[in-house]
């Protein structure tokens, strides 16, 4: 065996050790990225659940706002106003409208009728002003109901109802 050959064998041994180490670290890395990927998938999944719930809850809140506002308006036009009932409904409306601004998480347009515009810098101010305006109407209704003030209560209802169409035209998709 000459010297040159021995040297080559040593070199090869070093190379194969390096290969083994490289393999080990590749396996380690792929395990790590596998963990990262499944963790990310779980996060996305979790996020989707929240988005779905937010969509469901805001649609339910708007539907209830729609029917309850109409019933309250009718009740306020009766000779005998049932103030206990009106107060309860006013409280419910106020709670719905206050929760709404938190039910539009970023990325929740898909699967709903909300337009992307709700989240862009140029338009989101108008959207939140619209919600705040509707809320102010329901708060006014609630206070008027406490005082059994029919005129002020009707004004509150009308104020809230004056915000629906404008916002829908701008921020709600037709299909």
Give the range of 9-17, 45-53, 75-83, 112-120 binding ligand HEC by CB under 6 A. 112-120
**146, two tokens:** 């406490």
Q: Does 123 bind ligand HEC (CB under 6 A)?
A: no
Say if residue 78 is exposed, middle or buried (CB neighbours under 10 Å; 0-12, 13-18, 19+). exposed
Q: Does 157 bind ligand HEC (CB under 6 A)?
A: no
Which member of 81, 92, 113, 154 binds ligand HEC (CB under 6 A)?
113
Q: Does 105 bind ligand HEC (CB under 6 A)?
A: no
Q: How far is the CB of 89 from ligand HEC (least distance, A)?
A: 13
Q: How far is the CB of 46 from ligand HEC (least distance, A)?
A: 20
Give the range of 7-15, 29-37, 38-46, 56-64 binding ligand HEC by CB under 6 A. 56-64
CA angle 123/128/133 to nearest 5° reads 125
Q: How far is the CB of 61 from ligand HEC (least distance, A)?
A: 8
């Amino acid at each position: 065996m000459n010297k040159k050959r021995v040297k080559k064998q040593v070199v090869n041994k070093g190379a194969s050790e390096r290969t083994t180490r490289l393999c080990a670290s590749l396996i380690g890395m792929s395990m790590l990225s596998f963990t990262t990927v499944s963790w990310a998938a779980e996060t996305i999944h979790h996020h989707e659940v929240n988005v779905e719930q937010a969509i469901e809850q805001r649609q339910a809140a708007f539907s209830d706002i729609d029917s309850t506002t109409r019933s309250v308006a009718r009740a306020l036009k009766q000779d005998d106003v049932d103030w206990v009932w009106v107060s309860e409904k006013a409280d419910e409306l106020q709670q719905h409208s206050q929760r709404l601004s938190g039910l539009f998480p970023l990325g929740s347009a898909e699967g709903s009728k909300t337009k992307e515009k709700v989240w862009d810098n140029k338009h989101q101010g108008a959207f939140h002003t619209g919600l705040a305006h509707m809320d102010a109407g329901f708060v006014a209704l609630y206070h008027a109901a406490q005082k059994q003030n029919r005129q002020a209560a009707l004004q509150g209802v009308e104020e809230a109802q004056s915000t629906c169409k404008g916002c829908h035209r701008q921020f709600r998709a037709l299909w």
